[in-house]
Every structure is written in structure tokens, then in C-alpha cells.
Amino acid sequence: MGSPTFNLDEFIGQKYRQGFFTPLESDTVPHGLDENVIRLISEKKGEPAFMLDWRLQAYRHWLTMTEPKWSSVKYPPIDYQAISYYSAPKSKKVGPRSLDEVDPELLRTYEKLGVPLAEREMLAGVAVDAVFDSVSVATTFKAKLAELGIIFSSFSDAVKEYPELVQKYLGSVVPYTDNYFACLNSAVFSDGSFCYIPPGVRCPMELSTYFRINARNTGQFERTLIIADKGAYVSYLEGCTAPMRDENQLHAAVVELIALEDAQIKYSTVQNWYPGDKNGKGGIYNFVTKRGECRGDNARISWTQVETGSAITWKYPSVVLRGDNSIGEFYSVALTNNHQQADTGTKMIHLGKNTRSTILSKGISAGHGHNAYRGLVKVAKSAVNARNYTQCDSLLLGDQCAAHTFPYIEVKNPGAQIEHEATTSRIGEDQLFYCQSRGLSAEDAVAMIVNGFCKEVFKELPMEFAVEAQKLLGISLEGSVG
Amino acid sequence: MNTLLEIRNLHAGVDDGAAVRPILRGLDLTVRAGEVHAVMGPNGSGKSTLAYVLAGRDRYTVTSGEILYDGHSLLDIAPEERARAGVFLAFQYPVEIPGVSNIYLLKAAVNAARKHRGEEELDAMDFLALVRDKLTTMGMDEALLYRPVNQGFSGGEKKRNEILQMALLEPRLAILDETDSGLDIDALRTVADGIQAMRRSDRGIVLITHYQRLLDYVIPDHIHVLAQGRIALSGGPELARELERRGYAWVENGAPAEKSLPSGAAPAGRTATSTPSGE
Ligand SMILES: Nc1ncnc2c1ncn2[C@@H]1O[C@H](COP(=O)(O)OP(=O)(O)O)[C@@H](O)[C@H]1O
Ligand SMILES: [Mg+2]
């Protein structure tokens, strides 16, 4: 007999709501990687010569590298020859110029995902660049932003329309030699977003990129490059989803941010790639390099991320604090459920005087999830009077999951002030039953506990995305209540 | 007076995944609206098990028997639904919930019950006014509202917090599991006053206690002694002192059935004078 109550293990089984596949005709290059494939990608995109040269240099360098093994995540070897490096929904040779030219099927896909592409969404005040598999399909508000001198476009367009800007900044924060996956990305990246805010301009709306992997056996390698010129401000949001598939898919993106003197960039991510099923089958390998550089004095870069998806997440959004008085911030919620693994954190590299950084990391593990925080705070000799505050909290739901923290600190300047705090709390049947006995359903209890745990990070997100992130966490932890 | 809770021949135990380890073995208890029943018994006699079974905790499995609340079986009802229907359990060991402020949980709980009753949910301002009022009677510091639920609370603060929740939720059936243990004399007084203030003609209270001292302040209508998984002895309020004097061994050895009983005390199931069965 027994009462029909709550089973934590069942409860944290999850559903993935964006797991549908859109049947579209696509232009996909055969799987495999060699110089010809790279030339083909570059040609399909009509790129100038400097771009192809850079890709080839990266590729040749990549051949000399080996896949890193130092993170705590585990996965079978990736066969780089089994991946297709370019897939685009078939349409005209040139990318669509306006929404009318975009395949209606594609628009419906984004509608399902809740991405405001259509003009009627103007009022939402979010400009969106949507990347579907390898190409950018629509950039809204382009004209309106252009009035302010803001460039917000697909990476492919930027390469052709603003080659001097791209050439000047591309790879200046994350050189192709940086790491294995960044190098691969540099060779084969297919599209992404480009954004330039001119001096003294405050971007009046959130800029947003929406990434979606649709085609089978493809990798997604997008690049984002954002430059805030002197005294400029921009807030940028990135969202991602993918269909459910049994095979793993690779996503190796690179994001570079450059903040010049007195500029500020706020970069927020809600990452919800397909995490794989309950038994750990399928899901996205999310191996991403994100780095920002406060290149001028008084610059400020903040990364806010809510990571709920992917089978494996491996990313360390970092800030190089080169300018004096510059500020770097990292606010993160990373959730792992079922068999998901996350090895994420940040690097704060203090080079300038009076530089400050804040790290607030909230790891949630449920099911058999593994969550690792890995962070580096580095203070160079030149960084007089540098300060860092790090707080690392872990929340464990159930008793099968695990959390680890690896804080690395390297201080070359004795005047640096470094503080580190860490907590771990486990939520089990006790807490849930306590809430239930007060009239809350198990779902509401988990949502309450998780939101309470994450609220300091959520408050860093733009309002509408904070709501989205809360919902996402709810869904990611949702399951059947016996 | 109408019957609020009726437990008939209850067999229940803890499910360790493989089997149910029997703890309660044929327990009968009837609580009518307006009554306060004390359930006493030695450590490990199954008092908390009874409380958990009533609140619907997973793993505390009923193997046979009946639990009727307001005439309806509780057995297949989820714990949160029991709570919304007016069953309240004050925990022997209140649970800490990191990251969730006390006031947030209190408000969520009150609103879950209001929603269930079809009443409008209270907004933050109305709720604050309500909770402040009750805080004062419980002699609690307002700062406790903004701390994470029970985290870093002293033993006394935790118990007061349970009573505060009861006062806010206004249950119809309150089960208080050793709310008196671990309290100093002043805290005991406040907690007892809090319980006493909850006595009402339409409410039933089950006071689970190990000691008699709470019963000096909250004088129950009936006292029951739990031993060997059953109510071994029931009586009036005077039974508390008798137990204090003679110890639980007196009941566990089955003595009172044979020996002369204090007035009003009788072994369960033998006389009906003080073990009310639903009528
Ligand atoms: N969750 C549990 N797992 C295993 N045994 C339990 C559990 N809860 C209670 N018991 C056992 O059941 C018996 C009764 O315990 P309990 O109901 O807590 O007694 P009391 O509250 O009267 O001290 C004890 O022997 C105790 O060890
Ligand atoms: Mg007990």
C-alpha cells in the first residue's frame, strides 16, 4: 500500500521541450575534414582571401595539436572525420535579406522555440540573430540599429561588409592557437554573430543570438565577435537548443568580447542544448571558448550563464583585465541531471592596476549528474591592488550526484586581495517532505529551493530572460511524481 | 462532537526498499473535534512513525488498517493534499532548507492552503501584517523571517517556528511531535501558550510527548501510552503523573491491566470509558 508520495529519483527525470526536428532541404557538405573542405566552406560563403588564409593557418596548426584530457568530463573519442562541417537550409545562394525570404518552415521552428523573429515582436525590444545549423538566417532590427552606427549582423556578412573590423579583432582575444577546440573552430567556423558598438553609444536594446542545431551528424562551429568601442555599452544574450538524437553532436564555439576604454559588455547565455536521454544516450558536447578582454581603462565585462543543457559542457568564460580599474564578473548557474557532466568556471586574469573581479558560481547536480567548478584567478606582477571575490556554491539533489570545485589561484603581486568562499548543501527527501507537509507540491518545493539557490545569479540576467531561465530550470528538473 | 480522526487497527512500518519493518501493530485512536490527545511512550515506541504515517511520508508504509480523516481515508492522499486539507505536523526535528527564506516558505504554505479553499492568495503586504502579529505572540525575532528556513536556528527557535507555522496555517488536525523536547522553561512556556491558544471546538490536537511537563501547561482531554506498537493504556490527564512516577516499564510490562488503575485509566480496548470510539 503506502501513500502516493514523492520519489526524488523519478522526479528529477526530465523532458526536453525543444527536441523536435524540422524537415528542411539542406545543403550539407560530406562528412570529413581536410583543406578542401575548408576551401569549400570559404567559397560557399564568398569570403575574402584573408579569411581563407586564416582558416588554413588554423587548420594546419590544429593538425599538430592533441585533444585536451585535463577536464573532469568523460566521453568516448570523437571521430572528427565522421562530422559534417557545413550544413545550411537550402535556399538562394545568398543568405536571406529579410524575413519574407526566410523559409516559412524555419520561421515556424523559431516560433515554436519562442524566439521573436517576426516584426510584430518589435515591442519585445530584442534584436535577434538566429543561427540555424551553420548559417545565420535572419537578423532583425538591423536597420534600426544602423541608425546609431551599431553593426549587428551575421558573421558571414560582417566578413564581407566590414572586413577591416573583422580582420582587426578576430582572434585578438582567442587566437587560433589557444586550444584544440578553438583552433578547430577557427578552421571550420560556419557562421555566428558580429556586433560593433561605436564610441559613446549605448545600445538601446538587448542583442540576441539564437543558435539551433537541426541537421544530423553535423557539428556547429559558430563564432561571435563583439566589440564595444570607447564608452559604449551593450547587453547581449545567447540562447541555444537542438533536436533529440541518439548520437552525440559536437558544438565548438568561440566567443570573443572586446571592451575598450570605459566600455561595458554584459553577455548572458541560456544554454539548453539537448542533454541526452535519462540513460545518458545522445546529447550535445558543448566545448566552448569564451573570453573577453577589458582592453581599455575602466572597462567592464560580465558573463552571466545559465547552463541547463548539453550532455557535456566544457567552458570557462574568462576576462582578461588589461585596462587599469577594469572589472570582470562571472555569474553562473550550471545544472546537471541524469548523466550530464559539466566542467565549467572562469578565468580572471588581472594585468592592470586596481582591477577587480567577482565570481559567483552556483552548481546544481541531480540524478547522476556531475558538476565541476574550475576557476583560475591570476594576478600578474603588474596588477597593483587587484581584488577578487569568489563564491562557489553547490546544491545536490538526491544522493547519486556529485559536485567538485577546483579553484586555482596564482598571485604574483603580494598586494592582491583574494577571497574564496564555498558551500555545499544537499537536498533530499527530508526537505521535500517538509515542504509537502506544508502544502507545497514536490515540483513547487524543488522550484522554490532551486530558485532560492540561484537568485543572486538570476538577478544579473535581463528581466525577461530571468523568467525564461527560471522556467528552464523547472523543466530541466521536471519529471513524474509517482 | 464529530469525529475528526479515526485510526483503526493500524499496522505500519518503515520500508527499507526490500521489506516493511513493522513498527505500529494494531493501533486504534479516535480524536474528535475540540479534543486534545496526548500520545506518550518511551523512545523508539513508534510515536514519530505515527506522526509521519498521518502526514503521509514516503517509506512509512501502512500495511493494513484504516485512517479516516473527516470520514475519508487518508491512505491514498499525497502529503501536500493532506496539508491543504488541514492536517498539520510539527516536526520533532524541523528540517533546514538552505537558500529559501523562512518567510517565503511560510507565505507559499499559507497561499497553498488558501488556494485549496478557494480563497484569494495573500500578497506580500497582507502576509507580512499577518505574520508579524503571530511572531509577537510566539516571542520570535522578525529577523528569523528572513533567514533560510531553520538554518542556524537554535533548538528553541526551530520549535517556535513550527508553532508559528501552525498558527498561520490554522489546521483542523494538528500533530505535534515532541515540540516540547529540548526547550528551556521559558521557551516551553511560550510554546505551550501557543498550543493552548490553538485549542478550539473545531480543531483536534495530538500532542506527542515524551515527558509530562508540557502537560502541566496544556492539559489534555485524553492521554494514551504507546507500547509494542499499540495504545497500551489510555486515561485522563492524571495518567501523566502516574507515568512520571512509575515509568514506562509499568505499561510495557502490561501491569496496569491487572493492577488497580488510577481513576480514569484503563487498558486500551478493555473498557470504553476513556478510549472513545467514533460515535
Ligand atoms: N526511517 C527509519 N528507518 C529505519 N528505522 C526507523 C525509521 N524511523 C523509525 N525507525 C525505527 O522505528 C522505531 C520507532 O521509531 P520512532 O517512530 O521514531 O519512535 P519514537 O518517535 O517513539 O521515538 C524505532 O525502532 C526506530 O529505530
Ligand atoms: Mg520521535
Does residue B1 register a pLDDT over 70?
A: no
**pLDDT (tens digit per residue) in B83-142:** 999 999 999 999 999 888 999 999 999 999 999 999 999 988 889 999 998 998 888 889
Report the percentage of chain A scoring pLDDT > 90: 38
Mean per-residue pLDDT of chain B: 88
What is the structure's pLDDT at A72? Answer: 66
CB-based contacts of B143, cutoff 8 Å, min separation 6: none
How much is the ipTM here? 0.91
Give domain status of residue A2, yes or no: no
Q: How far is the CA of A150 from the centre of ligand 1 (A)?
A: 68
What is the structure's pLDDT at A346? Answer: 94
Tell me the chain B residues in contact with residue A434 when contact means C-beta distances shorter than 8 Å. Answer: 91, 94-95, 97
Q: By the 8 A CB rule, do A19 and A214 touch?
A: no
Q: How far is the CA of B180 from the centre of ligand 2 (A)?
A: 12
What is the structure's pLDDT at A442? Answer: 86
Tell me the chain A residues in contact with residue B88 when contact means C-beta distances shorter than 8 Å. Answer: 437
| pTM of the entire predicted model | 0.78
What is the structure's pLDDT at A2? Answer: 37
Residue from the list B59, B62, B89 with its beta carbon closest to the beta carbon of A1: B62
Average pLDDT over residues A289-314: 90
* Strand-pair partners of B37: B206, B222
Contact state of B62 with A438 under an 8 Å Cβ cutoff: no
Report the percentage of chain B scoring pLDDT > 70: 90
What is the structure's pLDDT at B263? Answer: 44
Tell me the chain B residues in contact with residue A452 when contact means C-beta distances shorter than 8 Å. Answer: 97-101, 104, 148
State the nearest Cα–Cα gap between B84 and chain A, in angstroms. 5
For chain B, give every domain's residue range: 3-265
Which pLDDT band, with edges at 50, 70 and 90, does A210 fall under?
A: low
Provide the edge-to-edge strand list for the sheet that holds A417-427.
A135-139, A126-132, A206-212, A233-241, A264-271, A300-307, A327-336, A356-366, A387-397, A417-427
Average pLDDT over residues A200-224: 74
Does residue B158 register a pLDDT over 90?
A: yes
Nearest to A362 by CA among A281, A478, A457: A457
State the nearest Cα–Cα gap between A462 and chain B, in angstroms. 22
Q: By the 8 A CB rule, do A298 and A305 touch?
A: no
- Say yes or no: B101 contacts chain A, CB-CB below 8 A: yes
Does residue A173 register a pLDDT over 90?
A: yes
Does residue A388 register a pLDDT over 80?
A: yes
Does residue A62 register a pLDDT over 90?
A: yes
Topology of B3-265 in CATH? Rossmann fold (3.40.50)
- Say yes or no: B57 contacts chain A, CB-CB below 8 A: yes
Burial of A202 (0-12, 13-18, 19+ CB in 10 A): middle
Average pLDDT over residues B219-243: 92
**pLDDT (tens digit per residue) in B236-261:** 998 988 888 888 888 877 655 533 34
Average pLDDT over residues B172-186: 92
Average pLDDT over residues A287-300: 95
**pLDDT (tens digit per residue) in B190-216:** 899 999 999 999 999 999 998 888 999
Does residue A354 register a pLDDT over 50?
A: yes
What is the structure's pLDDT at A113? Answer: 55
Report which of residues B168 and A4 the model is more confident about: B168
Choose the mutation target among A7, A438, A449 for the interface with B, i.e. most B CBs under 10 Å. A438
Instruction: Please state which of the ranges A2-11, A56-65, B105-114 shows the lowest mean pLDDT.
Output: A2-11
Which ligand 1 atom sits nearest the alpha carbon of residue B60? Answer: 1
Which pLDDT band, with edges at 50, 70 and 90, does B31 fall under?
A: very high
Which is it for strands B173-177 and A264-271: parallel, antiparallel or unpaired?
unpaired
What is the structure's pLDDT at A271? Answer: 74
What is the structure's pLDDT at A127? Answer: 58
Does residue A344 register a pLDDT over 80?
A: yes
Among A61-75, A231-245, A253-267, A370-384, the range of highest mean pLDDT: A253-267
Does residue A78 register a pLDDT over 50?
A: yes
Does residue A52 register a pLDDT over 60?
A: yes
> What is the DSSP annotation of A108-172?
HHHHHTT---SGGGGGG-EEEEEEETTEEEEETTHHHHHHTT-EEEEHHHHHHH-HHHHHHHTTS
Residues of A with CB under 8 A from a CB of B: 1-7, 395, 423, 425, 427, 429-431, 433-442, 444, 448-449, 452-453, 455
Mean per-residue pLDDT of chain A: 80
Does residue B186 register a pLDDT over 60?
A: yes
Structural domains of chain A, count: 1
**What count of CB pairs under 8 Å joins A to B?**
115
Among A275-279, A335-339, A404-408, the range of highest mean pLDDT: A404-408
CA angle A205, A208, A209 (to 5 degrees): 160
Q: Containing domain of residue A414, as a range?
A: 8-477
Instruction: Please state which of the ranges A44-48, A430-434, A474-478, B29-33 shows the lowest mean pLDDT.
Output: A474-478
**pLDDT (tens digit per residue) in A94-142:** 444 455 555 566 566 556 555 555 443 433 445 566 665 555 555 666 7
Q: By the 8 A CB rule, do A329 and A358 touch?
A: yes
A277-313 burial code (b ≥16 CB/10 A, e <16): beeeebbbbbbbbbbbbbbbbbbbbbbbbbbbbbbbb
Does residue A21 register a pLDDT over 90?
A: no
Report the percentage of chain A scoring pLDDT > 70: 72
Tell me the chain A residues in contact with residue B95 when contact means C-beta distances shorter than 8 Å. Answer: 430-431, 433-434
CA distance A407 to B76: 48
- Rounded to a whole number, what is the largest CA-CA distance in chain B? 60
